[in-house]
Amino acid sequence: MANDEQLADGTGTSLYVHVPFCVVKCGYCDFNSYVVEEGAAHDRFLDALAAETARRWHGQRPVSVFFGGGTPSLLSPPRLQRLFEIIGSHVDLADCGEVSMEANPESFTVEKAHIARAGGVNRISIGTQTFHAHHLRFLDRAHDAEGAEAAFAAARAAGFDNVSIDLMFGIPGETLAEWQSDLERALQLGTDHLSCYNLTFEPGTRLQRDRMQGKTGPNDQEIDRAMFEWTRQRLGEAGFDAYEVSNFAAGGGPCRHNDHYWLQGNYVGVGPGACSHHDGIRVTNIKPLDAWADAALAGLTCTSTAETLRPMQRAAEALWLGIRRTNGVDVAAIEKRLGLELRAAFEPLIVRQQREQMVAYDCSMLRLVGEGLLLADQVGGDYLGVAVND
């Protein structure tokens, strides 16, 4: 069971490191990634990353560090080692409570697992998505079910006691039985944490294009709903804590890094297209790999866009992000943190949501209940609506 001490409290700063390489671009993925195999490009990326990190991280102790992508595990063993040296020269990774790395089955080996462990990583998240061959093919995944199990075993072999599995449900044509068997297989592996995301059709992806052309489309909502409900029920029975609408923690506890995002915490993102947040200013790095590297290597800022949230917008964002946490979001704490009075603006909406039995609101804690969990995006999105044009 997770307890509050294990959850972040939103203070401090986290570090996100974006490794933008993949062996293939998956049909559903809208993240900033590139299929580039030349070692020289990888080296140039690492050089630029070293430059950017030196500019942006000033030795403080991070709340958490997250190596994401892309596919960090795609880097060759020496380059992977160099990645940890670069970050390790600015951050004492051994002293940081949570250092996560994303790994994909097609490239994660025992050797790389050992390098990660030695480099200071203490949590591995394996991008598995599904154990069904035809669904893996549909998603353009570059691995098979056995590969995913082997990757999990590799993490364990290197001594990781906090290994998470990413799964995806609602793949077009997927049945409830298939999803149930995916969950069982992940449980059999003895995973410490599960992220279970509903597949979405994101703009600019191959899947979205196919959908526009009528080649594919989302499943019936009733199936998605049954999968979502089954997930919560089954993982509850298995002793997992549903600490967030899509995330479930067993022995390893919640992912503090993601939780820090939901708490509207500050973080620094390094790498092409990486995002950062500092007290209501949200910044996005230059996206194209080469342009980002050019800027970083020239000693220039890598920022491409920035926005400063208006106070009400910041409050609405805090509610939108926080409502997905099972503990809910503390409205009074947001008021105090932002020095704002929120009740007048948000209470009519909250009262309506209470009446519709979507949320519970007691002692300033606002949280999803009942149908609200199944309609979390709508409930949360409505808070943003309050601050639009305010």
Partner 1 sequence: MTEPSLIRNFSIIAHVDHGKSTLADRLLELTGTVEKRAMKHQLLDNMEIERERGITIKARAVSMTYKADDGQNYQLNLIDTPGHVDFNYEVLKALQACEGALLLVDASQGVEAQTVVNAHLAEQAKLAVIPVLNKMDLPHARPEHVAMQVEDAICLPAEDAIAVSAKTGLHCEKVLEAIIELIPAPTGDPKGKLQALMFDAVYNDYRGVVIYLRVMHGTIKKGDEILMLGTDKEHEVLEVGQLRPDMIATPELAAGEVGYVVANIKTLVDVNVGDTITHNDEKLRGEMLPGFKEPKPMVYCGFYPTVPSEFDNLRKSLEKVRINDSSFTFEPETSDALGFGFRCGFLGLLHMEVIQQRLEREEDMDIVQTAPSVRYKIKLTSGEMIEVHSPSDLPEGNFIEEYLEPITRVNIVVPSEFIGAVMKICTERRGSYLSTDYYGKERVMLGFRIPFSEIIFDFHDQLKSLTRGYGTMDYEVEGFEGSNLVKVRILVSGEEVDALSFLTHKDNSEERGRKILKQLRKEIPRHQFEVALQAAIGGKFIARESISAMRKDVTAKCYGGDISRKRKLLEKQKKGKKRMRMVGSVEIPQKAFLSVLRSED
Site string for partner 1, 51-80 (x = CB under 8 A): -----------------x------------
Residue 284 or 364 with smaller CB distance to partner 1: 284
Does the protein bind partner 1 through residue 193 (CB under 8 A)? no
Pairing of strands 13-19, 266-270: parallel
Rounded to a whole number of angstroms, the minimum distance from the CB of residue 195 to partner 1 is 8
Rounded to a whole number of angstroms, the minimum distance from the CB of residue 258 to partner 1 is 5
Residue 18 or 123 with smaller CB distance to partner 1: 18
Does the protein bind partner 1 through residue 346 (CB under 8 A)? no
Rounded to a whole number of angstroms, the minimum distance from the CB of residue 66 to partner 1 is 8
Residues 36-55 that bind partner 1 (CB under 8 A): none
Does the protein bind partner 1 through residue 244 (CB under 8 A)? yes
Residue 53 or 117 with smaller CB distance to partner 1: 53
* Contacting residue, 7, 8, 16, 193, with partner 1 by CB under 8 A: 16
Residue 82 or 277 with smaller CB distance to partner 1: 277
Q: Which residues pair with 195 in a beta bridge?
A: 166, 247
Q: How far apart are CA 29 and CA 140, in angstroms?
A: 10
* Contacting residue, 98, 174, 241, 317, with partner 1 by CB under 8 A: 317
Site string for partner 1, 280-309 (x = CB under 8 A): --x-x--------------------x-x--
Query: With contact defined as beta carbons under 8 Å apart, do 56 and 274 qualify?
Result: no
The region of 42-50, 114-122, 241-249, 340-348 touching partner 1 under the rule CB under 8 A is: 241-249
The region of 45-53, 137-145, 184-192, 366-374 touching partner 1 under the rule CB under 8 A is: 366-374
Does the protein bind partner 1 through residue 100 (CB under 8 A)? no
Residue 70 or 147 with smaller CB distance to partner 1: 70
The first and second tokens of residue 277, run together, are 């947040």
Residues 201-230 that bind partner 1 (CB under 8 A): 221-222, 224-225, 228
Tell me the site size for partner 1, rule CB under 8 A: 45
The binding site for partner 1 (CB under 8 A) comprises: 16, 18, 31, 68, 197-198, 200, 221-222, 224-225, 228, 244-246, 258, 261, 267, 269, 273-277, 282, 284, 305, 307, 317, 320-321, 324, 356, 371, 373-378, 381, 384-385, 388-389
